[in-house]
């Protein structure tokens, strides 16, 4: 289905894009409407707890385990963590750029969720784990300011998902397929559409907001340092949140994309194919091969492994073990 058709159908039936997404999913899979809504609602709740964990807040509903906040602050590689708290701290003391409250909050929350992801915390991949901060960052920041409730967020997330479905079918949603435009770009487009819906815009406004975000991030390459979903991914989630907000603002004002949204997606697909493999999640170009990126990558590879028992060296490259004795090579009786 094209974005134009979807917007038209939603308008004709007098329902939101989010509701249409749920109806179509139910028609397609046979899963009852309520069950789909419940699944999306669970995701909204996980998004809220990811933000809380990333900011180092402990909420009554959160299981408190020793060391959890410590871990929330830093990833296993040590490459990311703690930046969401910096931004949030600055907002709390009222020192954010004057009048920039919503954007600053979105940035803090997007960083928070991405940092939680990097630190092996619980997140919703929306559309992917690498780009998991954009939607919760912008949605929850806006909801805090506007007072939107959980059901509004569920509806907005469903609308975002519908946009993601169209992009996923025609372009793909992974950096390996089409570069970061397919991950953070798609996330920004999905978020933009959802924000418009949260603010009361029409389905038509939603798809144009998505188009603005895709145009803004078109061609964005995927170049993670050391192959890890941290640098530049975490901060790219924050900057993509800003793109989503700008796109929503335009669409809500009645600004229209000169290139129709469906043609924008076609262009994105074409660009994705033209992005060389070195810039599609292989860590062979861009930021990954800067002097610093390469140094980090070497350090990660050389990091001494944890050896819990002294191990004889042998060709299998034992990284570490807790086995008290290494068994002889496992023999498959059928080999």
In the complex, the residues that contact another protein under the rule CB under 8 A are 21-22, 24-25, 28-29, 36, 39-40, 42-43, 46, 63, 71, 75-77, 79, 116-130, 132, 157-158, 160-162, 164-165, 168-169, 173-174, 176, 226-230, 300-301, 303, 316-324, 326-327, 330, 332-335
Handedness of CA 212, 143, 109, 128 (dihedral sign): negative
What sign results for the dihedral spanned by CA atoms 227, 128, 114, 122?
negative
- The footprint of ligand SF4 on residues 264-293 (CB under 6 A) is 281
Rounded distance between C-alpha atoms, residue 315 and residue 305, angstroms: 16
150-181: burial string, b at 16+ Cβ within 10 Å, e else:
eebbbbbbbbbbbbbbbbbeebbbbbebbbbb
Closer Cβ to ligand SF4, 175 or 201, answer by number:
175
Task: For the segment 227-256, give every residue that binds ligand SF4 (CB under 6 A).
Answer: 229, 232-233, 236
- Count residues contacting ligand SF4 (CB under 6 A)? 14
Q: Is 184 among the residues that bind ligand SF4 (CB under 6 A)? A: yes
What is the Cα–Cα distance from 287 to 279, expressed in whole angstroms? 10
Q: How far is the CB of 99 from another protein (least distance, A)?
A: 32
The Cα 30–Cα 72 span in angstroms is 39
Q: Read out DSSP for 184-236?
A: HHHHHHHHHHHHHHHTT--HHHHHHHHHHHHHHHTT--B--GGG-S-TTHHHH
Which residue has tokens 């002097």?
291
Give the Cα separation of 101 and 235 in Å (integer): 18
Picked from ligand SF4, another protein, none, the partner binding residue 148 (CB below 5 to 8 A depending on kind) is: none
CB-nearer residue toward ligand SF4: 88 or 233? 233
The 8-class DSSP code of residue 290 comes to S
Instruction: Read off the DSSP letter of residue 15.
Output: -
Which neighbouring-strand residues pair with 280? 222
Smaller CB distance to ligand SF4: residue 96 or 237? Answer: 237
Name the binder of 184 from ligand SF4, another protein, none, CB < 5-8 A by kind: ligand SF4
Q: Is 130 in the site for ligand SF4 (CB under 6 A)?
A: yes
Q: Which does 335 bind (CB under 5 to 8 A by kind): ligand SF4, another protein, none?
A: another protein
Complex with another protein: residue 45 or 256, whichever CB lies closer? 45
Residue among 83, 115, 152, 183 that touches ligand SF4 (CB under 6 A): 183
CB of 253 to another protein, least distance (A): 28
Q: Which of 36, 103, 166, 180 binds ligand SF4 (CB under 6 A)?
A: 180
Identify what 145 binds: ligand SF4, another protein, none; CB under 5 to 8 Å per kind.
none
Residue 175 site contact among ligand SF4, another protein, none (CB < 5 to 8 Å, cut-off depends on kind): ligand SF4
For CA atoms 192, 100, 256, 144, give the dihedral sign.
positive
C-alpha R_g of the chain: 22
Q: How far is the CB of 323 from another protein (least distance, A)?
A: 5
Backbone angles phi, psi at 222, to 5 degrees: -110, 115
Which of ligand SF4, another protein, none does 147 bind, CB closer than 5 to 8 A by kind?
none
**Nearest-angstrom CA–CA distance, 85 and 107:** 11
Work out how close the CB of 136 gets to ligand SF4 at its nearest, in angstroms, rounded to a whole number.
15
Residues that bind ligand SF4 in the complex, under the rule CB under 6 A: 130-131, 175, 180, 183-184, 222-224, 229, 232-233, 236, 281
């Amino acid at each position: 289905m094209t974005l134009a058709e979807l917007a038209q159908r939603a308008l004709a039936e007098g329902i939101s894009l989010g509701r249409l997404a749920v109806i179509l999913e139910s028609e397609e899979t046979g899963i009852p409407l309520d069950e789909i809504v419940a699944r999306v609602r669970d995701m909204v709740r996980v998004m809220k707890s990811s933000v809380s964990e990333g900011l180092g807040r402990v909420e009554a509903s959160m299981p408190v385990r020793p060391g959890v906040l410590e871990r929330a602050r830093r990833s296993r590689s040590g490459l990311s963590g703690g930046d969401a708290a910096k931004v949030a701290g600055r907002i709390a003391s009222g020192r954010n750029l004057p009048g920039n409250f919503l954007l600053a909050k979105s940035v803090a929350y997007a960083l928070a969720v991405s940092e939680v992801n990097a630190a092996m915390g619980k997140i919703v991949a929306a559309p992917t784990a690498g780009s998991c901060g954009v939607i919760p960052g912008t949605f929850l920041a806006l909801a805090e300011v506007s007072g939107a409730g959980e059901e509004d967020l569920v509806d907005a997330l469903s609308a975002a998902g519908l946009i993601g479905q169209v992009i996923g079918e025609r372009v793909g949603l992974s950096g390996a397929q089409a570069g970061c435009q397919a991950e953070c770009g798609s996330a920004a487009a999905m978020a933009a559409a959802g924000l418009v819906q949260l603010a009361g815009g029409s389905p038509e406004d939603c798809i144009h907001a998505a188009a603005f975000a895709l145009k803004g991030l078109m061609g964005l390459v995927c170049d993670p340092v050391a192959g890890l979903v941290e640098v530049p991914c975490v901060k790219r989630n924050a900057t993509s949140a800003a793109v989503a907000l700008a796109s929503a603002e335009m669409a809500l004002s009645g600004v229209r994309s000169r290139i129709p949204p469906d043609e924008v997606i076609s262009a994105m697909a074409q660009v994705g194919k033209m992005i060389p493999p070195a810039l599609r999640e292989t860590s062979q170009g861009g930021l990954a091969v800067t002097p610093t990126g390469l140094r980090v990558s070497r350090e990660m590879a050389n990091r001494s492994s944890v050896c819990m028992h002294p191990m004889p060296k042998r060709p299998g490259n034992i990284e570490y073990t807790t086995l008290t004795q290494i068994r002889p090579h496992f023999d498959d009786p059928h080999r």
